[in-house]
Amino acid sequence: MKYWKYLIFAVCVLIAISLPKFLGVYPLQILNIVLIYVALALSWDMLLRSGQMSLGIAGSCGIGGYTAVLCTINLGLNPLVGILIGSGVAAIIALLVGYSVLHLRAMYFAIVTLAVTEIFRILVRNFEITGGPEGIILPNAIFKGDAAGTYWLMLAIGVFTIILSWLFQKTRIHFALTSTANDEIVAASSGLNIFKYLVIVFVISSAIQGMVGGAYAQIYGFVTPESSFSVNFTLLPIIMVLLGGTNSTWGPVIGAVILTVLAEALKLVIPYGHLLIFGVVMIIAIIWFPGGIIGILRKGGVQAHH
């Protein structure tokens, strides 16, 4: 039946877990970045499936990052616990924001998420406790910077997100998201509480982003307003999803892998301007391939079932 897919996935995960035995530090670091963006891209797509788009990935990441660092430094908590709390705080803020504005849609919601990102960036820059413009540096990176340890952490987050994305496509959430995206009036007339589901998905999506942000901060050992709330966290996952294919689990994964590898390769060739190429790719993707790579595969008859 379809169980062979889960089997293949399990095998891949096992292989992935064993990679630190064979790979050096640099490839593992690249994989870390891939996993970061896999998680971010998937989390963005999960909300996109409802027809709503968030432009505030960087915000949730930054909130998660700062919270995790503050927990470690000020409360002396275990870094892993800090990451979880960071995820929780990002989720709570998403709950407040979503509850307040998710009666509005599309444009307004997207811009509000952008605004929230900026608000928090300004907040952390202006307060002493968050280190002001210079940010905070951790005395120790998590696992003392051990490449394998940080890799396994990111792998766990990545796999967790993939599984979550799958669940979103197998459970009633899939019906809620798809019907909301297709026709809100029909959805509401069939008894769906659209607002509730949008808030739930937005909160979960932000929680993942907060987790990634927390992990990022702990792995690299610092947070600053510019780097923790970097626009790359918002922009790159979006391009990856558009490239790889929206409304699927493998689309964002493929997009994340391709783009990260490409970015690394380009960085070696042209020191700057790779973002320009990405921007052009994004525009081309929106205009000509709104379904991304997965869309092309599907049209070509290859059944890519999530």
Please give the Cα distance from 191 to 211 (Å, whole number).
33
Note every long-range contact of 140-148, with CB atoms under 8 Å and residues 24 or more positions apart, other chains counting: 140/221, 141/218, 141/219, 141/220, 141/221, 142/79, 142/80, 142/215, 142/218, 142/219, 145/221, 147/20, 147/25, 147/28, 147/29, 148/20, 148/28
Note every long-range contact of 262-269, with CB atoms under 8 Å and residues 24 or more positions apart, other chains counting: 263/236, 264/30, 264/33
Give the range of 35-43, 80-88, 114-122, 140-148 binding another protein by CB under 8 A: 114-122
Asked whether position 275 contacts another protein by CB under 8 A, the answer is yes
Are the C-beta atoms of residues 201 and 173 closer than 8 Å to each other? yes
Asked whether position 299 contacts another protein by CB under 8 A, the answer is no
Near another protein in 130-169, by CB under 8 A: none
- Residue 151 or 197: the one with the smaller Cβ distance to another protein is 197
Sign of the C-alpha dihedral computed for residues 274, 276, 279 and 284 taken in this order? negative
Asked whether position 129 contacts another protein by CB under 8 A, the answer is no
**Binding letters toward another protein, positions 69-108, x by CB under 8 A:** -------------------------------xxxxx-xxx
Asked whether position 259 contacts another protein by CB under 8 A, the answer is no
Q: 121: which 2 tokens? A: 């960036």
Asked whether position 51 contacts another protein by CB under 8 A, the answer is yes
Near another protein in 219-258, by CB under 8 A: 235, 238-239, 242
Instruction: Please tell me whether residue 137 adopts helix, strand or coil conformation.
Output: strand
Q: How many residues bind another protein (CB under 8 A)?
A: 57
Q: 39: which 2 tokens? A: 């998680």
Asked whether position 126 contacts another protein by CB under 8 A, the answer is yes
Which one of 15, 25, 175, 261 is in contact with another protein (CB under 8 A)?
175
Which one of 19, 53, 77, 95 is in contact with another protein (CB under 8 A)?
53
Please give the Cα distance from 110 to 181 (Å, whole number).
15
Which one of 118, 261, 267, 299 is in contact with another protein (CB under 8 A)?
118
- Residue 32 or 113: the one with the smaller Cβ distance to another protein is 113
Note every long-range contact of 139-144, with CB atoms under 8 Å and residues 24 or more positions apart, other chains counting: 139/73, 140/221, 141/218, 141/219, 141/220, 141/221, 142/79, 142/80, 142/215, 142/218, 142/219
The maximal CA–CA distance of the chain, rounded, in angstroms, is 58
- Residue 14 or 185: the one with the smaller Cβ distance to another protein is 185
Near another protein in 180-199, by CB under 8 A: 181-183, 185-194
**Binding letters toward another protein, positions 277-296, x by CB under 8 A:** -xxx-xx--xx--x------
Are the C-beta atoms of residues 40 and 233 closer than 8 Å to each other? yes
Site residues (vs another protein, CB under 8 A): 48, 51-53, 55, 100-104, 106-108, 110-112, 114-115, 118-119, 122, 126, 171-172, 175-176, 178-179, 181-183, 185-194, 235, 238-239, 242, 272-273, 275-276, 278-280, 282-283, 286-287, 290
